[in-house]
Amino acid sequence: MSLDFLIHAARRGREKAYAPYSGVKVGAALETEGGKIFSGCNIENASYGLSNCAERTAIYKAVSEGFTRFKRIAIVTKKPETFYPCGACRQVMIQFSPDMEVIVANTQGKHKLFKARELLPHPFLPKELLADETRKGTKGSLQKTG
């Protein structure tokens, strides 16, 4: 899949953005390692904390369909400069594919390319949850030891 195709898919996703408060419309297109594309857009809510970014929308759509390994994601805005993912989106990207490519682009054709791990050099990883705890009991429940 070409980079231009993925950016174009993100631009199409941007058209569906619901951004009545900020006016900033963002689109994303996520490519799985198998080549399937999932698009996403930002969805704002009057209770700002309940809003969702385009990147997480695309990733959550993919995960809900059983995909958890990603090759790259393109993120598109209309801003004159490229727009970077927020910290929450960076953390979610790292959770699934720390080496995936992240393409930040604008509608004027400017783009930059990064690895997810470059955007969040010190992530919180699943292994951190087990640092001071061990698995005991059934069904993977976590209980403190000592």
- Annotated active-site positions, please? 55
Q: How many whole angstroms separate alpha carbon 113 and alpha carbon 90?
A: 14
Beta strands 70-77 and 101-106, pairing class: parallel
Q: How many whole angstroms separate alpha carbon 46 and alpha carbon 1?
A: 37
Do the Cβ atoms of 54 and 41 come closer than 8 Å? Answer: yes
Q: How many whole angstroms separate alpha carbon 43 and alpha carbon 41?
A: 6
